[in-house]
Chains A and B, each alone.
Chain A
Amino acid sequence: MIHSYPLKSLYGDYVRTLIGLVFMGVPFYFAFPNLFMTTIFGGLTLLFLVFGIRTALRHVTAIQTSPEGIAVVGLVSKRIAWSDVAKVDLKYFSTSRDKKSKDGWMQLKICDASRCLKMESNLSGFEQIVSRVAAVGFHNGAEMNETTVENFTAMGVTVDLPDEDEGDG
C-alpha cells in the first residue's frame, strides 16, 4: 500500500517556508554590515531554507507498506522489515501549551538496529500505519517509552497483548 503526503497538507509548510524566508531574509539583507545581526538572521534564513527543502523532499516521497515491512520511496530510500522493528517513538507536537489544541501534529519514528524512518500525521493513512507499527512493536518487544504508549491510546490504537499472568498458576 502506498501512502503519500497530500499536496494540500504541505501547502501550510510551503507558506511557512515562504513567510520565514521573507521575514528572515529581508532583515538578513539589511543587517549585512553588522556581524551579530547578520549571523542571527542568516542562521534563521538557513533554518527556513532547510525546512523548505525538507517539505519539498516530503512532496516527492512516498511510504510503502507491505506484509514484509515499511519503506520510504523517494530521493532517499530506506526499508525496515516488520520483524526488525526494534524501537518505536510516537511524539505529539503542539505550539499551544495546553496540548489540547487541534493544531498539533504527531510524529512517528520507527527504527531497526541501524536506521530509522520518520513520518508525520499529515501522511495519508497515518492512523493505519500507527496501528500496524504499534502491533508490530508490542509483538517484537520493541523499545517504547511511556509517552509513545500514551499517544497510542490517545489515537485510539489498542493492541491485544498476550496475558502476562498466563501460566502463573
Chain B
Amino acid sequence: MLGYVTRRILVMIPTLIVISALVFIIIQLPPGDYFTTYMNELQSQGEAVDPAKLEFIKQQYGFDKPMIEQYFLWLTGMLQGDFGYSFEFSRPVSEVVGDRLWLSFVVSFTTILFTWIVAFPIGVYSAVRQYSVGDYTLTFFGFLGLATPNFLLALVLQYAAYIWFDTSIGGLMDPKFIDQGWSVDKALSILEHLWVPVLVIGTSGTAGMIRRLRANLLDELHKQYVVTARAKGLPPGKALVKYPLRMALNPFIADIGNLLPEVISGAAIVSIVLSLPTTGPMLLNALQSQDMYLAGSFLMFLATLTVIGTLLSDLALGMLDPRIRLGGGAAK
C-alpha cells in the first residue's frame, strides 16, 4: 500500500503544478488588472486618483514584476499559508474566504447528506423492484429532478417558504442575525432557511445518483454469481447486500473526488439566486472585478481539494473494490 500511496501522490505533483500555472495564466488573461479597473471606475464617478499612489500600490503587490516572477511569488506565498491580498475586500484572502467557508460547508455538507440518504434507498428499491409501479413513480420524479433548472426551483421554493412558513426571502438566516454573534436563535434561523438551498442543490444530484445506483445494481444483480447464489438458496437480503450492493456502491465512493470541492465551493448560481453568503458568489465577484489573488487562490484551493478527493476516493475504492488484475499474464 505504501508504494501505491507514494505513486499516487507523485501523480498529484505535476497535476497541481500544471493547474496552478493554468489558473494564474487565466486570471492574468483579461486586459488590465484590479487597479486599472478600480481607477477607471473612480474616474467615471468624477473622483480624482493619484497616479503616484496607484504606482506605489502596484509596486507593493509586485504588479510591476514580470508574470513568471509574480507566479512564483504567489506559489511560494501559498506554501507559507499566505494566499495573497484581496484588493476588493482590503483584507487577506484567507480572512475573506474563512468568513464564508463554514457557511458553504454547512450548506454543501447537508446537501451531500440529503443526496445520499434519499438516493441510496430509492436506488436500491428501483433496482430490486425493476419495472414495478414504485420504480416507475420514483423514476418519474428522478427525471423531473434532473430536468428542472435549479434556479427555477429556487425561486419557486423561496416563494413557497415565504407564503406558507413566513420565512424571509434569500440568505441563510433572518437579516437581524447577520452581524450578530452565535446564539440558539441564530442557529434555528439558519435551520429554518437551510432546507430551501439543500433541496434545490440536492435535487438534481439525488436524481443522478439514483439513476447511477439503479443501473449499477441492475448490472450486478443480473450477473451469474448472483443467480448461482440465489439458486443455492442464499437468503435474498444476503444475496443483495453481500456483493452486488457493495459493487454498486462504487459511484458513491468515486464521487468523493468531486464532493470535496463541492463542499467548499457551493453552487454558485443557486447561491446568487438565493442570496446565500457562501463562497460561490464570492468567486464570481472576484473574477468579475479581477481580484486576482482572491480568485486565483480560491480556484487553486478547489483544484487541490479535487486532487486530494480523487486520491481519497481511489484509496477507498481500493479497499471496497477487490483488487483483481484484469487480463492474464504476469505483472512486471
Contact = CB atoms under 8 A, between A and B. Distances in A.
Interface residues of B, number: 30
B322 A47 contact: no
A73 interface: no
Contacts of A77: none
A147 B322 contact: yes
Q: Which 8 A-B pairs give the minimum distances between C-beta atoms?
A: A34-B81, A92-B325, A147-B322, A121-B331, A150-B324, A154-B325, A106-B331, A92-B323
A150 B10 CA distance: 29
Contacts of B76: 30
Contact of B328 (A30, A51, A146, A154): A154
Given A30-B80, A121-B330, A126-B330, A92 B10 contact: no
B326 A100 contact: yes
Contacts of A48: 6
A105 B4 CA distance: 9
B176 interface: no
A115 interface: no
B325 A106 contact: yes
Contact of A99 (B2, B3, B325): B325
A27 interface: yes
Contacts of B323: 91-93, 99, 147, 151
28 contacts: A19-B10, A19-B13, A20-B9, A20-B10, A31-B79, A34-B81, A37-B79, A37-B80, A47-B9, A48-B6, A50-B2, A51-B6, A92-B325, A93-B323, A94-B325, A98-B326, A104-B325, A104-B331, A106-B325, A106-B331, A121-B330, A121-B331, A121-B332, A146-B322, A147-B323, A147-B324, A154-B326, A156-B328
Interface string A29-62: 0111110110001001001101100100000000
Interface in B292-332: 314, 317-318, 322-332
A95 B325 contact: no
B5 interface: yes
